[in-house]
Amino acid sequence: MARVCLDPGHGGYDPGAVGISGLKEKDITLAVALETGSYLTNSGIEVIFTRDCDQVSWPSEINQDLAGRCRIANQANADLFISIHCNSAGNPDARGTETYSYTLSDRNQKGAEASRLIQAELVASLGLQNRGTKTNNFYVLRETVMPAVLTELAFLSNSEEEQLLSQPDFRTRACKAIARAVIKYFGLSLADLNQVSTGPRLVINGEPAVNVPYRIIEGKTYVELVSFISSLGGQSLWDEKTKSINIQIKKSYNA
């Protein structure tokens, strides 16, 4: 069975890029990784996550953070590593999708192949500017022993693309695109992605929620509150004085 390690960029102490409206990269990458993992699992691929919630298993230090992600992938003997990110730039007009592999040496030809497949599927599905496939000396590409890819879905620093990243339907298109590319990479048969259940069913005010971030622990399903509230365009705040979790949603919920 093919084995893929999905790495939701940033997390825990590190929000990653933050958009104009406050959307955090770490929440988007987690939601995309979890849903992509469901599609891959239903297509017969074993999936390992470097993190499956907003808590991280490594110290709050960048080098140990990156080393921890690589260690998880390497110890799992993954066949492919995919790090999922959202881009950011000082120029608010910067936009588009790009995907990286380590180098074009013989050892990393498969990484380059996976990069091309993922980039092509993302561009076709998301309809954003094609910034192409590139190579880079990123730590997680260099220190993983299997073919490795890092994809930048869109720019959080671009107001239009931040709005797109906040939309569950847009993220689902990205998830399905990555899943299709991985299936092609391994030469496997693709499950009907429209029939795949990606998590528990949650209903709010009579309307079904989508892209619910969840974990199953000892047979019980837990919804990861911070990521879910963020996906609705809101935020959760801890009030130490009253020991309360205050939920603020800036826009009405749309399923």
Please write the tens of the pLDDT for every residue from 133-163.
Answer: 999 999 999 999 999 999 999 999 999 999 9
The answer to whether 113 is a known catalytic residue is no
Q: Is residue 20 part of a domain?
A: yes
In a domain, 34, yes or no: yes
Residue 34, C-beta contacts closer than 8 angstroms, at least 6 positions apart: 8, 49, 52, 198, 199, 213, 214
* DSSP conformation letters of 122-151: HHHHH---EEEEEE---HHHHS-SS-EEEE
Provide the pLDDT for residue 138.
95
Provide the residue range defining the domain that includes 74: 3-204
Is there a domain that residue 79 lies in?
yes
Residue 198 pLDDT > 90? no
Predicted confidence band of residue 211 (pLDDT cuts 50, 70, 90): low
Q: What is the pLDDT of residue 42?
A: 86
Q: Is residue 27 part of a domain?
A: yes
Please check whether residue 232 lies inside any domain of the structure: no
204 has a pLDDT exceeding 90: no
The one catalytic residue among 152, 161, 162, 224: 152
pTM: 0.77
pLDDT at 253: 44
Span 103-126, pLDDT tens digits? 755 556 899 999 999 999 999 999
Is 63 a residue whose pLDDT tops 70? Answer: yes
Q: What is the percent of the chain with per-residue pLDDT over 90, rounded to a whole number?
A: 63
| Between 43 and 74, residue with greater pLDDT | 74
Q: Do the domain assignments include residue 161? A: yes
Q: What is the CATH number of the domain that holds 14?
A: 3.40.630.40
Handedness of CA 204, 11, 132, 70 (dihedral sign): negative
Q: Could you tell me if residue 94 is inside a domain?
A: yes
pLDDT of residue 172 exceeding 90:
yes
Number of domains in the chain: 1
More confident residue, 237 or 2: 2
Q: Which residues of 115-126 are buried (b: 16+ CB within 10 A; e: fewer)?
A: bbbbbbbbbebb
* DSSP 8-state code for residue 194: G
Question: Do the domain assignments include residue 252?
Answer: no
